[in-house]
A and B are shown apart, each in its own frame.
Chain A
Amino acid sequence: MCRSEGSRRRLAGFALAFLLSAPAGAATVSSPQVTGVEMTPPVRRSLKALEGQWLEWVIQNNRQQAEAAVTRLLNTARQLEMKRLPDLSAGAVARALQAAHEKDFARARWALEAAERLDPGRPETAFAEAAVDWRQGAYARAVADRLRAYPRMLAHPLERYLWLQDLLIWSLALLLVTGGVFLALQMLAKGAPLYRDLADLFGRRLPPLAALAAAALALLWPLFLPYGVLWLPLYWSILLWGYASASERTVLIALWLLLGISPLLLEAQRRQLAVALSPPVRAMESLQEHRLYGSLFSDLGVLRSLLPESVAVKHLLADVHRMLNQGDLARSLYRQVLEAEPANTSALLNLGAYFFTKGDFSGAIQSFQKAAAADPGNAAAFYNLSQAYSESYMFEEQKAALQKAQDIDTALVNTWLAEQARVVTVAGGMARIPEIRRQLLASWGGREVRSGRLELFRRGLPLLVALSLVLVALALHLARRPFGYTERSAEIFPEGAVDRWGRILLPGVVAAEVGEGGRAFTALLVPIALLMLPFLGRLGVPIPWRYDPGSFLSWVVAILGLSLYFGVRLRRELRGEA
């Protein structure tokens, strides 16, 4: 009975407090089902204003008025504590390209300037500028713009992350392709003796022609299996083991292990990629950079629905509401955070700041005191406390609290004093973004995980295959050794023009002739890397650039690199050095 009475009182108190604290507009807060996160009318008005100001910019034909429209857009965004408008910047880039296409280069220029102001430092803007320059005939400036654009590609976290992941996938593919070509080179050097030995083996029982046919069949039968393209090089690598030198065998083992490990690496990377590309993570990264894009709030809504019980998510959303000046919505979420984490200093500080701005100094002092008690080394807690004491005419306490804050971090406190900061807030929710990412990753992994041991075995099977290849190669070698191996010819290419051109065009031949596996593999790696460079964007995941520069640089580097590489080889061959 007593319990029920208490519960009712708490409920009544909460409803009353909500009624008293809610501003007039709170009744028209939007539903999170529609807008992702709740929005008060001022926020919606600001967003609506952005929409209108953009249309205003689009229809401008005058540079000054267009610049003024951009200034208004940025000012409106600043009201929401946002600094960048990426969608609008992309729109301005598209507008610039369209204007350049119509030979209206003046308009193209100010559209590009607008793009740069709306989202500074984007590579797309610099690439588009290069395209406009090129169309205008300013080729040198176009090249300079392109050179300016490439470093920008790595300046943004999502794009940089995706680029590095693409690089990893490309590197794996490169090593595997080089491994395949290395095997081909081994076959070039040792294929004839291998075939000869097999033919001799069958020749003991079969007539010569049948023995030759049987040897061919013995070499090629894996092609007729499902996934024969995989089994054939693996099978050949085993057959070539006996003919290989020590360093060639080392390369073969490394390739087998790479084949076993690469699926595991890819799988781990795939999870990270899926999370990085998910709307919630994009929304969180945009918040960190104060980027306001069209579906930011919807994406935050997805985050909330994915992790409805996460305290970190609530903390982050509380910070979002605080940034949007939706103090009441923020306060409610900070309280939920504090219910789960009573000693959460940043939530206590921000809640205290809310009370402070509302003029509830006793509430503020309580929150700041709790923050100071939870983290005695937190200068912001004591600074805020001193401010709240000051507003409450408790000057002795104010001095003591300020002194304490200065004792902890004099420079920081002096900065706040110089800025005349009334109270300091801390983006504790934003700081929890890595934690939220981990939760998303675990939740994503949870959805993917299937039956335990069998699944684990299936995933680890490539590694087992790789290890068993070593054993099979050794066993086959031991079984064959008594019959001996035919010595291969010292020369891969016989005399004549083929010899010279073969050596120039096929790196690694000289190393393969003398059985230097590592050197042969390395010699193949460079030209194959250059040949595969244009595939860099195709092997991994497409990077969502808003203006696609194409693979121009990859092609240029590949063509120049290959020309240089083979030019040097040709020169050395002609000079007799190769």
Chain B
Amino acid sequence: MAVEGTLDLFKLPEILQLISQQRKTGILTVQGQQDIVAISFLNGRIVAADALNQTLEEGLSQILLKEGMIGAADLGRASAEHQSAGGRLIDLLVERRYIERSQLLAALRLQTFRLLELLLRWNQGDFKFYSGDEVSYEDGFVPIAVEELLIHAVQNAPPPEPARPTMLRPVPASPPPQPAVAAPGPEARAAAPSPRLVAVAKPAPAAAPVMVAAEAPATPRKAKLEPRLVTSAVPAWMGRVLAVLLAVLMVTVLLSAANVLMLPFPWQDREREGLARDQRAALYLKIDQAAKTWFLLKGTFPDHLQDLVAAGLLSADDLTDSEGHRLLYRPSEESYTLDPLEGGKAVPGAGATEAITGNFLLDPEFLNVPPEATVQPLVLLD
């Protein structure tokens, strides 16, 4: 299904934001008076852009030359070879090692940015969005978020001028400050080859469209230009290291001391002890029921707690308390004791002793009590 309209009714930023918010996949074509641009979206993010008046390879060649990634002589040689060998020029450039693939992708992204920024200056024309399941794009291309594009376009917008529906050449004679393309090499891949969005202090021109992202942070970004002394030395993977550290800490706490997770504050020792005590009480009750069931059949308490596990009366988890202390079990003829061990020693005040006393099914003495009163009751008479 296609959605279409004119740029008189809907501005391009609105259309792009709509596609982004709805996470659409498909192709948006915009037809001006002199050119047609097709933008490919994958889940609401831009993965390719192409113009009728300028092939991808033309635009890309200009970027590569402009950014000094390739010399004019090399480019000429490659073009000649391409004409004879066929295929795609950009594949040939990589295959013949004129440029690294990471450079190619970075240049492609920059080319897409420039094309789209020029497109955003259109205010007349027709658009049509063709929704689909998949679109084709250069493998490894880092998708461009619409918000990223719009912010970038605002920052790089030229002074206002009468709008006219024309397709400008992708590389202006004196371009606005452009994002730097990452330098080649392994570090460049790690350091996000996309254009940087930071450190540009420029008030938005009055005529520039106001871009409001769906979940735009509520704070102004970089209100004033600050000298950047160490930013370049900050590795991009730092966030990952910090995230992994936090995740590992969380998992460690969950596995080793879950009570700390729920009662985390330093002054909650008493509550943590209370919770552990209750958990231990429930565990002791479970063990007691199992041990007494064993007694019911064998007439003695088991020699080891593992016997109860083997009999299916306890699970292996029941051999340690909620704090991970192994339970020391010591049976005697009519009772047994349980003590959680910490460092080989019993935790003080945490043990329990259970006996058959008071259980009419187990305690032979329970029902054989001597009569309380064997004498006649006293009768008081006046």
What is the chain A residue whose CB lies nearest that of B374? Answer: A27
Tell me whether A191 and B242 are in contact (CB under 8 A): yes
B371 is contacted by which of A28, A35, A465 (Cβ under 8 Å)?
A28
Docked pose: A481 CA to B145 CA in angstroms: 25
Tell me whether A547 and B312 are in contact (CB under 8 A): yes
Interface string of A1-43 (1 = CB under 8 A from B): 0000000110110011011001000011111001110000000
- A578 interface hit (Cβ, 8 Å): yes
Q: A50 contacts which chain B residues (CB < 8 A)?
A: 360-361
Q: With A484-B222, A576-B133 given, is the CB distance from A196 to B234 under 8 Å? A: yes
Q: With both chains docked as a complex, state the minimum distance between the C-beta of A303 and any C-beta of chain B, in angstroms.
A: 13
Q: With A458-B267, A546-B293 given, is the CB distance from A246 to B218 under 8 Å? A: yes
Q: B371 contacts which chain A residues (CB < 8 A)?
A: 27-30
Q: With A494-B190, A547-B312, A548-B318 given, is the CB distance from A185 to B197 under 8 Å? A: no
- A141 interface hit (Cβ, 8 Å): no
Q: A514 contacts which chain B residues (CB < 8 A)?
A: 145, 147, 213-215
Tell me whether B366 and A259 are in contact (CB under 8 A): no
Q: With both chains docked as a complex, state the minimum distance between the C-beta of B375 and any C-beta of chain A, in angstroms.
A: 8
- A389 interface hit (Cβ, 8 Å): no
Q: A263 contacts which chain B residues (CB < 8 A)?
A: 262-263, 265, 268, 271
Docked pose: A575 CA to B134 CA in angstroms: 8
Which residues of chain B from 293 to 322 have a CB within 8 Å of any chain A CB? 293-294, 296-297, 311-315, 317-318, 322
Interface string of B254-281 (1 = CB under 8 A from A): 1000101111111110010011001101
Interface string of A537-554 (1 = CB under 8 A from B): 111111111111011000
Q: B372 contacts which chain A residues (CB < 8 A)?
A: 28-31
What is the chain B residue whose CB lies nearest that of A234? Answer: B264
Q: With both chains docked as a complex, state the minimum distance between the C-beta of A521 and any C-beta of chain B, in angstroms.
A: 14
B226 is contacted by which of A34, A200, A515 (Cβ under 8 Å)?
A200
What is the chain B residue whose CB lies nearest that of A29? Answer: B372
Q: B88 contacts which chain A residues (CB < 8 A)?
A: none
B219 is contacted by which of A54, A227, A242 (Cβ under 8 Å)?
A242
Tell me whether A208 and B230 are in contact (CB under 8 A): yes
Q: With A212-B230, A541-B282 given, is the CB distance from A12 to B246 under 8 Å? A: no
Tell me whether B377 and A485 are in contact (CB under 8 A): no
Tell me whether A211 and B230 are in contact (CB under 8 A): yes
Q: With A172-B262, A542-B283 given, is the CB distance from A491 to B194 under 8 Å? A: yes
Among B222, B254, B376, residue most surrounded by chain A Cβ atoms (within 10 Å): B254
Q: A491 contacts which chain B residues (CB < 8 A)?
A: 142-143, 145, 192, 194
Docked pose: A19 CA to B376 CA in angstroms: 9
Q: B133 contacts which chain A residues (CB < 8 A)?
A: 575-576
- B141 interface hit (Cβ, 8 Å): yes
Interface string of A189-216 (1 = CB under 8 A from B): 1111111100110111000110110000
Which residues of chain A from 63 to 105 have a CB within 8 Å of any chain B CB? 87-88, 90-91, 94-95, 97-98
Docked pose: A320 CA to B275 CA in angstroms: 33
Q: With A277-B285, A547-B312 given, is the CB distance from A535 to B258 under 8 Å? A: yes
- A461 interface hit (Cβ, 8 Å): yes
Tell me whether A298 and B359 are in contact (CB under 8 A): yes
Tell me whether B234 and A199 are in contact (CB under 8 A): yes
- B202 interface hit (Cβ, 8 Å): no
B240 is contacted by which of A18, A97, A191 (Cβ under 8 Å)?
A191
- B238 interface hit (Cβ, 8 Å): yes
B278 is contacted by which of A180, A230, A273 (Cβ under 8 Å)?
A273
Tell me whether A576 and B250 are in contact (CB under 8 A): no
Docked pose: A491 CA to B101 CA in angstroms: 19
- B140 interface hit (Cβ, 8 Å): yes
Tell me whether A191 and B238 are in contact (CB under 8 A): yes
- A368 interface hit (Cβ, 8 Å): no
What is the chain B residue whose CB lies nearest that of A243? Answer: B217
What is the chain A residue whose CB lies nearest that of B216? Answer: A245
- B62 interface hit (Cβ, 8 Å): no
Tell me whether B286 and A543 are in contact (CB under 8 A): yes
Q: B25 contacts which chain A residues (CB < 8 A)?
A: 576-577
Docked pose: A263 CA to B264 CA in angstroms: 8
Q: B143 contacts which chain A residues (CB < 8 A)?
A: 491
- B247 interface hit (Cβ, 8 Å): yes
- A443 interface hit (Cβ, 8 Å): no
- B206 interface hit (Cβ, 8 Å): no
Which residues of chain B from 329 to 382 have a CB within 8 Å of any chain A CB? 357-362, 366-367, 369, 371-374, 376-382
Tell me whether A187 and B358 are in contact (CB under 8 A): no
Q: With both chains docked as a complex, state the minimum distance between the C-beta of B233 and any C-beta of chain A, in angstroms.
A: 6
Docked pose: A187 CA to B262 CA in angstroms: 22
Query: Which range contains the number of A residues in contact with the other chain?
Result: 35 or more
Q: With both chains docked as a complex, state the minimum distance between the C-beta of A420 and any C-beta of chain B, in angstroms.
A: 34
Tell me whether B236 and A44 are in contact (CB under 8 A): no
Q: A469 contacts which chain B residues (CB < 8 A)?
A: none
Q: With A94-B311, A191-B239, A461-B265 given, is the CB distance from A12 to B282 under 8 Å? A: no
Tell me whether B360 and A297 are in contact (CB under 8 A): yes
Q: A295 contacts which chain B residues (CB < 8 A)?
A: 358-360
Tell me whether A98 and B311 are in contact (CB under 8 A): yes
- B169 interface hit (Cβ, 8 Å): no
Q: With both chains docked as a complex, state the minimum distance between the C-beta of B32 and any C-beta of chain A, in angstroms.
A: 27
Docked pose: A542 CA to B290 CA in angstroms: 13
A227 is contacted by which of B193, B224, B266 (Cβ under 8 Å)?
B266
Q: B314 contacts which chain A residues (CB < 8 A)?
A: 548
Tell me whether B312 and A128 are in contact (CB under 8 A): yes
B322 is contacted by which of A203, A242, A538 (Cβ under 8 Å)?
A538
Q: With A31-B369, A91-B293, A212-B230 given, is the CB distance from A185 to B265 under 8 Å? A: no
B271 is contacted by which of A19, A259, A266, A576 (Cβ under 8 Å)?
A266
- A153 interface hit (Cβ, 8 Å): no
- B183 interface hit (Cβ, 8 Å): no
Tell me whether A495 and B239 are in contact (CB under 8 A): no
Q: A465 contacts which chain B residues (CB < 8 A)?
A: 265
Tell me whether B145 and A513 are in contact (CB under 8 A): yes
Q: With both chains docked as a complex, state the minimum distance between the C-beta of B190 and any C-beta of chain A, in angstroms.
A: 7
Docked pose: A87 CA to B359 CA in angstroms: 10
- A229 interface hit (Cβ, 8 Å): yes
A544 is contacted by which of B42, B264, B274, B285 (Cβ under 8 Å)?
B285
Which residues of chain A from 342 to 395 have a CB within 8 Å of any chain B CB? none
Tell me whether A270 and B379 are in contact (CB under 8 A): no
Among A47, A274, A494, residue most surrounded by chain B Cβ atoms (within 10 Å): A494
Q: B236 contacts which chain A residues (CB < 8 A)?
A: 192, 489, 494
- B18 interface hit (Cβ, 8 Å): no
**30 A-B residue pairs with CB within 8 Å:** A15-B378, A15-B380, A19-B377, A19-B379, A28-B372, A51-B360, A94-B293, A94-B312, A162-B282, A181-B250, A183-B246, A191-B243, A204-B227, A246-B218, A266-B271, A273-B278, A277-B282, A294-B359, A294-B361, A297-B358, A301-B358, A482-B224, A485-B219, A490-B147, A491-B145, A495-B105, A495-B189, A544-B282, A544-B286, A551-B315
User: Which A residues are within 8 Å of any B CB, using their own CB?
Assistant: 8-9, 11-12, 15-16, 18-19, 22, 27-31, 34-36, 44, 47-48, 50-51, 54, 58, 87-88, 90-91, 94-95, 97-98, 128, 131, 162, 169, 172-173, 176-177, 180-181, 183-185, 187-196, 199-200, 202-204, 208-209, 211-212, 219, 226-227, 229-230, 232-233, 236, 242-248, 259, 262-263, 266-267, 270, 273-274, 277, 294-295, 297-298, 301, 458, 461-462, 465, 477, 481-487, 489-491, 494-496, 510, 513-516, 532, 535, 537-548, 550-551, 575-578
Beyond the given A229-B249, A229-B260, A481-B223, could you list 9 further A-B residue pairs with CB under 8 A, ordered by the A residue number?
A30-B372, A173-B261, A191-B238, A203-B230, A227-B264, A270-B278, A461-B267, A535-B258, A544-B286
| 3 closest A-B pairs by CB | A191-B239, A298-B358, A294-B359
User: Which B residues are within 8 Å of any A CB, using their own CB?
Assistant: 25, 42-43, 105, 133-134, 140-145, 147-148, 151, 189-190, 192-194, 197-198, 213-224, 226-231, 233-244, 246-247, 249-250, 252-254, 258, 260-268, 271, 274-275, 278-279, 281-283, 285-286, 289-290, 292-294, 296-297, 311-315, 317-318, 322, 357-362, 366-367, 369, 371-374, 376-382
